[in-house]
Amino acid sequence: MKTGIRLTSMVKTSGCAAKLPPEKLHRIIDNLPLMKNDKLLEGFESADDALVYQVTDDIVSVQTVDFFPPMVDDPYVFGQVAAANALSDVYAMGGEPAVAMNLLCFPSCLDLEVMDQILRGGISKVKEAGAVIAGGHTIADPTPKYGLCVTGFMHKNDVWSNKGALPGDAAVLTKALGVGIVNTAAKADEASSESVAQAVASMTCLNKKARDTARSYRIHAATDVTGFSLAGHSQECASASKVTIEIETKALPLIEGALELARFGFIPEGRYTNEDYLFDKVSFSSSVTQELIDICYDPQTSGGLLLFMPMSDAEAFVSKMDSPSCKIIGKVVEKQKKDVLFA
């Protein structure tokens, strides 16, 4: 939709790159009192993707919330990306989204047609997920922001967690990296149409197929790769699982042009705040180029699933997915000094 207004010109940071720096966030939440409840099976203490609350002896609810400012100018596509990103946290837990509520901050200076298109974009992805939107909340705000609160339901024994990865497991990533870098370059009109199209296709793609396919295999741990970057989300899994994850950077699937754009300096601010938090938790081999380091710290928006499973299952899963963006990118080893080792 052409509105005559560039949504990205109204924001300083875009998509998941707009999230608070993890170092500042953890400084607060790590010291908050934990609210315990026998029915709360997963909270925020292990940085898992969604909470898990027991409903019956066998059924649990999986709930998440996510919203952010636009990373694209088309309001309909923005709505699609924001919805896909919010739905992803339920898929990362192995769940099935059931019901969602809109969260919308909207500037009074924008035409209401823009609001309509954002919400319609969100509806399209929630419908594709097989869920429903049942209302929501709006507030006037100079910076447009959109997202969802999503609830899913599943069998208690089928829940995935970001802890449980075992030595010998393969690490599988289901989407290409570099979205934050491409979006930063696109905002300056320096990204190619091919790079932008590939990034948009990735961000609007639900993780439903990956979740559905992975359910046939032995998933020991899972998460999705979003604003905390591949390095950050890998580190969370390694720390929670009490293992070390080795990642082969040459095996990483990449958005077309992302390496070149990183080389030219189109780096989102979140890349640096991610590194600031992770500098003593991960390490890079001297052979890893600066551009690949930038990719590994790049905040992703609506990124892929990061799955840990036996190598034989991983090979079968990647074959079944039949996507150039779905690759085995590393393996799990016994705990070492660093949580993640990039080679």
Active site (annotated) includes residue 105: no
B/e letters for 28-38, b = 16+ CB within 10 Å, e = fewer, are: eeeeeeeeeee
Is 71 within 8 Å of 15 (Cβ atoms)? yes
The one-letter amino acid code at 219 reads I
Catalytic, out of 16, 237, 296, 326: 16
Is 246 within 8 Å of 331 (Cβ atoms)? yes
Alpha helices in 30-178 (DSSP H): 75-92, 112-128
- Give the Å distances, CA to CA, from 244 to 7, 44, 78, 89, 327: 41, 21, 36, 23, 19
- For 123, the token pair is 């509806």
Q: How far is the C-alpha of 104 from the C-alpha of 118, rounded, in Å?
A: 9
Task: Tell me, letter by letter, the H, E, C secondary structure of 283-325.
Answer: EECCCCCHHHHHHHHCCCCCCCEEEEEEHHHHHHHHHHHCCCC
Q: Which of 327, 302, 308, 337 is nearest to 17 (CA)?
A: 302
Residues labelled catalytic: 16
